[in-house]
Amino acid sequence: MSIESTNPATGEVVDTFDETSSGDREAHLDRAVETFEEWSETPIERRQRLLSAAADVLRENSAEYAELMTKEMGKPIGQARDEVEKCAWVCDYYAEHAAEHLDDEVIASEPEARTLLSYEPLGPILAIMPWNFPFWQVFRFAAPNLAAGNVGLLKHASNVPGCARAIEDVFREAGFPEGAFTTLLISSSEIDEVIEDDRIAGVTITGSDGAGRSVAETAGSQLKKNVLELGGSDPFVVLEDAPMEKTVETAVQARLINNGQSCIAAKRFVVVDEVYDEFLERFVEEMDAQTVGDPMDEETDIGPQAREDLAEELHEQVEKTLEAGGECRLGGEPMDRDGAFYPPTVLTDVPEDAPADQEELFGPVATVFRVPDEEAAIEKANDTRFGLGASVWTEDLERGERVARQFESGLAFVNELVKSDPRLPFGGVKDSGYGRELARDGIREFVNRKTIWVQGDAGEETEMVE
């Protein structure tokens, strides 16, 4: 069977790829195991050098990779170039810090003993990745895990097969051994079988909470380590002393980045009554000023949704919210043009239990809530089954940090939009998943934290304890 990638801005077929056959899948899994034996014993200094080479390949081919992303899933071309650069950055980060993060950790114990933690790779890791950041989501998994001595197998989203192949080529061109990173162009129906395969040591997924539950159930039944990076409905809390100009400018960016299709995008804007009217007026004006159009055009702020069905699903959530009593202050209707375009949309007066209150809206739709005060803002911010990111806006930094500590989220920002950074752990709580990517925490997720005890006086009897 073949897989087509389709340009969501035009409906034209970008390219066609052959699915990975069952025979080829078996060969790839065998190769991954063989390569792991070699790769895990490769000095970490060489692994770091190869990651640095991967960063060079990314930068040398930035224009090509950016255009591919834009054609396959509609990301504005400038944001696509930024994504390639961020992938190079995460490779640079682990090329510099991997050895430090994986160095033995000596722990004090008995006077005559040396005790330590050793961080050792697990084996082939399956990565199930989404289409919205088709390069970045993969590289934030691949860079730390390849540095740690694991090998990776990628099951990418079906609408970005070209990106999947291109990423595999990056590592091949950088000099990684065959089998260190392999793309499997397989259907979702085959995922459980791969997870259950004895040759797979662990699995990570970035996707919906439904997909995460399914993967966790299968991995758990096999007692395999798993990391879940799932959806979010991030609150953006505006207090009465917020620096309004910066707050509104960032609010628009935080909602519309990547055409609004980001797990850590601000989706619920929780504004205290004292500044609600001012914020709403300025926010609607700025949202309306954004340019929707051809994502290959440098002047475009918002491109299409990644697929027609995703735009339809988003509009259905908007319609149901309005039917429940919500108000539409901007947008709210699919655009009358070819392609999966949806306009910047602002909803207010959204009742509890409406889709815009309870569900993740994965597109350029913002929901603005009015609350009486800070206490109510925190309560509303936490009134969600998700717990990925959150931000608060205030002139008082001590107040901001105090509020940030009360968010039920894995990430909390004061006077900044929620974002990922190779230097900082990334992940959520509640229905947003568990585990962490990036920084030291990320490189230690798929390793064996082995306790080693070296007794100095072998002739002395010791009490046997468990």
Residues with catalytic annotation? 229, 263
The full DSSP string for 151-168 is EEEEE--TT-HHHHHHHH
Question: Reduced to 3 states, what is the DSSP secondary structure of residue 103?
Answer: coil
How many Å apart are CA 103 and CA 170, to the nearest integer? 27
Indicate the residue type of 76. Answer: P
Crossing angle of helices 62-73 and 77-102, in 10° steps, is: 120
C-alpha 327/C-alpha 320 separation (Å) is 11
The whole-angstrom separation of Cα 311 and Cα 385 is: 23
Contact between residue 243 and residue 395 where contact means Cβ atoms under 8 Å apart: yes
Q: DSSP character for 84? A: H
Q: Cα(199)–Cα(193) distance, rounded to whole angstroms? A: 11
The set of long-range contacts for 354-358, using a CB threshold of 8 Å and a minimum separation of 24, is: 354/320, 354/321, 354/324, 354/325, 354/326, 355/317, 355/318, 355/320, 355/321, 355/324, 356/317, 356/318, 356/321, 356/326, 357/268, 357/321, 358/384, 358/385
Nearest to 65 by CA among 47, 88, 92: 88
> Quick one: tokens of 20?
């990975």
Residue 465, Cβ density class (10 Å: 0-12 exposed, 13-18 middle, ≥19 buried): exposed
Backbone angles phi, psi at 234, to 5 degrees: -65, 130
Looking at the chain, the number of H-run helices and the number of E-run strands are: 15, 20
CA–CA gap between residue 347 and residue 329 (Å, rounded):
6
Q: Which residues contact residue 67 at a Cβ distance below 8 angstroms, ignoring those fewer than 6 apart?
A: 77, 80, 296
252 to 279, 328, 366, 395: CA distances (angstroms): 11, 17, 9, 19
